[in-house]
Amino acid sequence: MTALKALIWDVDGTMADTERDGHRPAFNRAFEEVGLDWEWSVDLYGELLAVTGGKERIQHYCRNFLGREERAEYVADLHRRKTRRFLAMLETGAIPLRPGVKRLLEQARASGVRLAIATTTTPANVEFLLRANLGEQALDWFDVIGAGDIVPSKKPAPDIYEHVLAELGLPASECLALEDSRQGLISARAAGLPTLVTVSSYTQKDPLEDALAVLDHLGEPGNPCKARVGTAPASGQVDLDWLQGLLS
């Protein structure tokens, strides 16, 4: 049996449901700040999420919805403004962790299962989300935090997961990725990682073949998780024993 050595966490949609009421309004406030009349509605943003990375998403919007390309520096400035807005939201604790995330992180720490992060989002967003929800020390819980522009290609490319595996010094077969979206699942699977998906508000209808299981969330006392694909843990809570069972 392959022993589970590390959990590799996606952030947006997996650790916290950040997109609809976090990143999306932050983008809209940044556009307002510079006098742009761009307004990303809930539905339009759901379409734009096909492109990962905030700067790439802005450029994709310009090309495909406005029929023009914006200068990279202009897009980078817009993205810096957006990130400032998003960080301000995180600092107020406005964006909580999803059910079961804190519980499973703490169980992994207590059991010696290593923790890592593989995300497309900006590193500061990860730091602020973890600090706001888990306290100052939380960053130290993770052996590796792979985020944003540190790899040439973002999800669905496998780059960020391959980077994290190399830094961990572990084979993919001894690790398990936790994701929320089709783009993230494709990325993790392309890196050879067994992957559990907990769908988020934008990914309920994503095609998610090749996941070990698809759940509505990780579950916690009084809020049992349910399976969309495969079977949910009998206890209603994803724990290390259940994840280990997925690996064998």
> Could you list the active site residues?
10, 12
d(CA 231, CA 11): 23
The one segment of 6-14, 95-103, 190-198, 237-245 that binds ligand XBP by CB under 6 A: 6-14
When binding is defined by CB under 6 A, the residue of 59, 119, 133, 195 that contacts ligand XBP is 119
- State how far the Cα of 153 lies from the Cα of 190, in Å rounded to an integer: 13
Q: Do residues 212 and 246 make contact, with C-beta atoms less than 8 angstroms apart?
A: yes
* Residue numbers 1-20 binding Mg ion by CB under 5 A: 10, 12-13
Q: Which of 52, 107, 195, 237 binds ligand XBP (CB under 6 A)?
A: 52
**C-beta closer to Mg ion: residue 66 or 158:** 158
Is the previous residue joined to 171 through a cis bond, with omega within 30 degrees of 0?
no
Query: Out of 4, 8, 10, 164, which residue is the one contacting ligand XBP (CB under 6 A)?
Result: 10
Place of tokens 């499973």: 104
Query: Hey, what amino acid is at 70?
Result: E
Phi, psi of 173 (to 5 degrees): -65, -20
CB of 117 to Mg ion, least distance (A): 11
- Can you tell me which residue has the tokens 């996606």? 10
Please give the single-letter amino acid code of residue 21: D
Residue that has been written with the tokens 């590799």 in this structure: 8
As measured in angstroms, the least distance from the Cβ of 120 to Mg ion is: 7
Task: Provide the minimum distance between the beta carbon of 54 and ligand XBP in the complex, in angstroms, as a whole number.
Answer: 2
Residue nearest to Mg ion according to CB distances in the complex: 13
Q: Could you say which of 4, 23, 75, 128 contacts ligand XBP (CB under 6 A)?
A: 23
Please identify which residue in 28, 59, 107, 125 interacts with ligand XBP, judged by CB under 6 A.
Answer: 125
User: How many amino acids of this chain bind ligand XBP (CB under 6 A)?
Assistant: 16
Interface stretch with ligand XBP, choices 46-54, 164-172, 188-196, 202-210 (CB under 6 A): 46-54
SS (H, E, C) 43-80: HHHHHHCCCCCHHHHHHHHHHHHCCCCCCHHHHHHHHH
- Binding positions for Mg ion, rule: CB under 5 A: 10, 12-13, 180-181, 184
